[in-house]
Structure 1
Amino acid sequence: MTIKVIETTPFSDQKPGTAGLRESVARFREPHYLNNFIQSVFDSVPDLAGARLVIGGDGRHFNREAAQTLIRMAVANGVSEIILGADAILSTPAAAHLVALEGAAGGFLLTASHNPGGPDGDFGIKFNVRGGGQASAELTDRIHARSLQIREYREAHIPLPRLDDIGLHSLSEGCRLRIVDPVNAHADLMESQFDFPAIARWLQARPGRFLFDAMHAVTGPYAREVFVRRLGGDDSLLLNASPREDFAGGHPDPNPVDAADFVARFATADAPDLGGASDGDGDRNMIVGPGRMVSPCDSLAIICANHDCIPGLAGRLKGVARSMPTSRALDTVAQALGIPCHETPTGWRFFASLLDAGQIQLCGEESFGTSSDHVREKDGLWAVLAWMQMLASHNCSVDELLERHWQRFGRHYFVRHDHALSSEQGDAVMAHLDQHTDRGRLTLGGYELSADSFSYTDPISGHTVTRQGIRLHTDTGGRIVFRLSGTGTQGATLRIYLEQAVAADADWRQDRDGVLEPLSRLALEAANLRKLCGETTPTAVI
């Protein structure tokens, strides 16, 4: 075996976002770009030497090539065993589970999540720590600092086996490669969390009652194993279940905009009782019923309220958490249950800290992510199974479950408006909004408002992060949140979140857009969007 030490120079754009480093495929293909980031991780996590490492990805374009580079660099940096999902495939929750199951020191996940794929699309890489959780803010800061100083990286020049050759392979005297089935361990985990016989009876009671859209992404094989082989469903319940490197030209994001065709199937007279969809790497979910998409905020709150019918959560829910932009519907349920509800910045790593400490067992975010403490990542398949379990246990429809919930807890009307801006426009809008937070209280559009900039101190590590979004609270139970997204690779996406609470004894059957229209107008005025950007029509309403 020959280990080469290759000279390099730093790149200035390798600061990880909320879920790793995401750039265009073209950028990752530039000489040394991927290598520099990988070496920066190894330099920042010395515990990887002599330890196990998990590698897998969502199967998008450049996945195999990047995995081969990772394997060679892992060998050169002293890793003793590499556990690879066959063909370099692992959904994000499956990879997190495998890190914990195998006692690995960490794992590299090759994914840009819900971003488009293909040669002209995006690629991404992130590092998950021991236990399967995302790297902390402190660690990603160290990795970024190292990426600005790096001058060389190490790579072993060794032949590699076929990446789909399941079994044990010797790579060097001190390192072996174990290629494993990417699906079974995670399917076993799902079976341990839910009452599969009850779900199977519900699923098989009426032909065509359930439909799942894998969006030509990584979840297809997982869905086939769980819904078809283990729960006895028919193959016809799976849509777009064959993974493609370019996601068949689609945008693998399970939301009513990018999965509009799927949502349209539930507007027909013979619509299925329940629909589920997942994204590029399998960590997001969308829940659909006849004539309705369930808000992810409502979904999280309803799972919390009905947790006792889910075996993996029953009798052990001590705390929950939501990301700050997510509606406060979860807070209302937690208060009724007498358990704490934590409000964290966007980014699953903040949940992982609370999960590891045993302070929460359920968490979620408005961007279609929901999970429990069975893994340290969000889990699209888990969320869909949770809805199947609730409908089976209560013998009701999606609408009936929603209305029972609102009758008890009231309703939090919620929507997200995305505005595609240039980086300069995004910065200008946030700078303007900062002026409101400096004042604290203001009168605008006939509303009395309080304004603040959200900051968070991790109760476990004590680490503080600031400037996580700007919040405006009205005197009538409304809330507006402004935040620049950290998941894109070009320009800036300004996300405006609108929320209006309506009590259980009020009219919670109103049209969502009608209820939120006053807040929408107020948000545009508060952000001065027309003057600063010249455009006030959202590019997406979710």
Structure 2
Amino acid sequence: MRKRTLEVAQTPHFLENWLQSLFDVLAEQLGADTLRQGTMIVGGDGREWNLVALRKLWRIAAANGLRKLIVLGPDAVATTPAISAVIRATKAIGGIAFTASHNPGGLYGDWGVKYNMGNGGPAPDAFTRLIYERTKSIDRYFQLEATQADALCGADGFDGISVKRVNTVYRFRILYDKEREINVTGPSQDTQSTDALESVFEVHLVDATEEYVSLMERIFNFDLIRGLLTRPNFRMVFDAMHGSTGPFAFEIFTERMRYWEHPWFRRGQYLPDFGGEHPDPSLQNLTELVQEVFTESDPPEFAAASDADGDRYLIFGRRFVVQPSDSLAIMLDYALRPDFAPYFRGAGNPPRGVARSMPTSAAVDRVAASHSICCYETPTGWKYFCNLLDAGKISLCGEESCGAGSVHIREKDGLWAILFWLSILAYNNRNREPEAPCVGVEDIVRAHWAKYGRNYYDRWDFDGIDGSRAQEWMRNLELRVENNDLIRAEQSEPKLYAADIFHYQDPIDGSWAFNQGVRLFFAPDRKFTRSAST
């Protein structure tokens, strides 16, 4: 769910009703007993109103009987990939991410919340539809106000929870009886009570970086990357865009890799409005980094950026930028090498397959075909990769909007992709003399093109268009495709030989996703048009 921050903040009961709808669906799907014994993870990208939402959440979670809420922090700030990693590591029933992804923050920006399932992945369409349908009929929600007398650890009830802390547990005695009624607040203003029941509700404040960084150490060879970073002729720059990746990048590069020779960190402090900037890693939003990379005077050998919630990325070399479609293809090529990273080969097994979103170029298809592994084409949206990952059909996946990931979690992962690229650089420079010129990002990309061929790719985003007009335009295009008007029209070169509306059937559960964009096939090119929810 994504709305304007002010709309959510100023609409009475808006978030409460959404959260209660979620817990109602969870109780129906999992059973009340599972919920009472369950653990849920929560974190966010640090944007405006997240802490207000968090305080609403633990009151509603307690009233609905949840056993344990793990808050990643401090300040409930965690990347979306880290939330996915902790869900999987703790075997939680799921997790809540307070994020509007790469959208602007602040009071006049966007605010969002989403639910991730027990596998760590975004809730599938069928589950989100259940939540939505429940929000249309809900007439009450449950919330509890713990008092000082209820606090078994800490003080002042829920108000005594300090999200600035980590490695801290708060326990509350929850009494559901006729002497202490459950407060039910909503349009009906009803009040109900239950039979006598006592339980304990726990809020665990956990270091958000701990599980995720340990996972990265198991995937990548930090010693090899450290050797690259300490080369006298290598310099790296990373731009966190005032989002949630700042603490994670600091822990990885400064604390674990001891990289402090150069001022490498840009916009590392998370801010509720992201410094008034658009936290989306694109050339338009990274003007200072682009200037630094393309300067004529000693640019860094490697630069990267990640978005607000840490699931997107962009890679630069010296006066060079890597297209996300090429990046995915290059990652697959290296993951298939037996001496690159043991993690991707698992028990001696090479990657089993790869998936890309429909608007991503076919560069990765060439690599997959060369190695005789399956390549799946899905709609845009990470949830469409999750069934393929869970079923063991794929090991890597990526989409056109600077997203890539693997079997390690069920979200796209910006820092993982950045570490992957640093591993590629370290792999290519591992046997070179310290004073020898580095094999750089551009060298690696051009070597890939020489081996597999190049898929030219361009992406045009049309922002700020009225939603109804955009949908009308898309529908007119779809009608022309359905009626074969485009094929019959007089054409110049290149010739359009096919056009369709992209529908996707999940090969695992058979579910369908309809109307996911228009595909135009030219000889020898392709063109895609889709309407984005963001």
Q: TM-score range by the shorter chain?
A: 0.7 to 0.9
Structure 1 consecutive aligned stretches of length 4 or more whose deviation exceeds 4 Å: none
Q: Does 1:391 align with 2:392?
A: no
- 8 Å CA contact 1:135, 1:349 repeated in 2: yes
**Deviation at residue 171 of structure 1 after TM alignment:** 2.4
Name the SS for the 1:417 alignment partner. coil
Q: Does 1:283 align with 2:311?
A: yes
Partner of 1:428: 472
Name the SS for the 2:163 alignment partner. coil
Partner of 1:485: 532
**Deviation at residue 209 of structure 1 after TM alignment:** 1.4
Change (3 A) 1:171 1:467: same
Name the SS for the 1:313 alignment partner. helix
Decide which of 11, 34, 49 is 1:62's aligned counterpart.
49
Partner of 1:168: 169
Measure, in 1, the Cα distance between the counterparts of 2:287 and 2:442: 20
Decide which of 340, 343, 351 is 2:377's aligned counterpart.
343
Measure, in 2, the Cα distance between the counterparts of 1:281 and 1:132: 15
Measure, in 2, the Cα distance between the counterparts of 1:444 and 1:402: 38
Name the SS for the 1:117 alignment partner. coil
Question: Percent of counterpart pairs with the same letter?
Answer: 38
Partner of 2:67: 80
C-alpha offsets along residues 202-237 of structure 1, whole Å, 9 cap, x if unaligned?
011136611100011110010000011111211611
Larger radius of gyration: 2
Counterpart residue type for residue 38 of structure 2: A
- 8 Å CA contact 1:168, 1:178 repeated in 2: yes
Q: Does 1:196 align with 2:197?
A: no
C-alpha offsets along residues 71-112 of structure 1, whole Å, 9 cap, x if unaligned?
111111111111111221211000000001011000000000
Name the SS for the 1:480 alignment partner. strand
Name the SS for the 2:344 alignment partner. coil
**Deviation at residue 316 of structure 1 after TM alignment:** 2.8
Partner of 1:508: none
Measure, in 2, the Cα distance between the counterparts of 1:302 and 1:115: 28
Q: Does 1:449 align with 2:497?
A: yes
Number of corresponding residues: 466
C-alpha offsets along residues 315-340 of structure 1, whole Å, 9 cap, x if unaligned?
53001100111111111111111100
Structure-to-structure mapping, 1:96-175, within 5 angstroms: 96-158=84-146, 159-160=157-158, 161-166=161-166, 167-172=168-173, 173-175=199-201
Measure, in 1, the Cα distance between the counterparts of 2:508 and 2:121: 14
Counterpart residue type for residue 390 of structure 2: D
What's the C-alpha RMSD, in Å, of the aligned pairs? 1.3
**Deviation at residue 449 of structure 1 after TM alignment:** 3.1
Name the SS for the 1:130 alignment partner. coil
Partner of 1:497: none
C-alpha offsets along residues 427-459 of structure 1, whole Å, 9 cap, x if unaligned?
221121112321343445412331100011111
TM-score (norm 2): 0.85
Decide which of 398, 402, 405 is 1:371's aligned counterpart.
405
Name the SS for the 1:258 alignment partner. coil
Structure 2 unpaired stretches of 5+:
147-156, 174-198, 430-438
Measure, in 1, the Cα distance between the counterparts of 2:288 and 2:341: 30
Partner of 1:248: 275
Partner of 1:296: 324
C-alpha offsets along residues 235-266 of structure 1, whole Å, 9 cap, x if unaligned?
61111111111111111111111112211211
**Deviation at residue 50 of structure 1 after TM alignment:** 2.7
Decide which of 478, 482, 492 is 1:438's aligned counterpart.
482
TM-score (norm 1): 0.84
Name the SS for the 1:415 alignment partner. coil
C-alpha offsets along residues 1-53 of structure 1, whole Å, 9 cap, x if unaligned?
xxxxxxxxxxxxxxxxxxxx110111111211111111111111123343110
Partner of 1:538: none
Name the SS for the 1:99 alignment partner. helix
Partner of 1:402: 445
C-alpha offsets along residues 142-188 of structure 1, whole Å, 9 cap, x if unaligned?
11111111111111112221122321110233311111011111111
Of Structure 1 and Structure 2, which has the larger fraction of its residues in strand? Answer: 1
Change (3 A) 1:228 1:442: farther
